[in-house]
Amino acid sequence: MKKIAMALVAGATLSGCAGLAFAGRANGPVGVYSETKANDQITDETLTAKTGEACSTSILGLVTTGDSSVPTAAKNGGIKKVVSVDNNFMQVLGVYAKFCTVVTGE
């Protein structure tokens, strides 16, 4: 019985820890898997075919690496004028999380 109680407490404590690295981007607590997309910015300009993406990853919210900034996403897509900015957030079991910025432009 103690093992079950400890497992439940550990699961509740660790659930979503990876997502803490990207606080404000997750939509509530994660169960087994969560993936969300959000549109952060769009202009009146016409959308173009060029896109660029930049991502950061996190493990347990303790180790976070990457550069998910708009300038990096634009550089990766060869974009000089950003038309829209979108974000993708994914996490698995609160252990692994990935946050990406996707830009479109010309």
Give me the count of residues in the chain.
106
Residue ranges of domains in the chain: 2-105
Q: Give the model's confidence band at 10: pLDDT under 50 very low, under 70 low, under 90 confident, else very high.
A: low
| Neighbour order of strands in the sheet with 63-66 | 33-42, 82-92, 96-105, 50-59, 63-66
The model's pLDDT over 33-80, given as tens digits with 9 standing for 90+, comes to 777 777 766 766 666 679 999 999 999 888 999 999 999 999 999 999
Residue pointed to by tokens 């993406």: 53
Q: Say what the pLDDT of residue 4 is.
A: 61
Q: Say what the pLDDT of residue 8 is.
A: 46
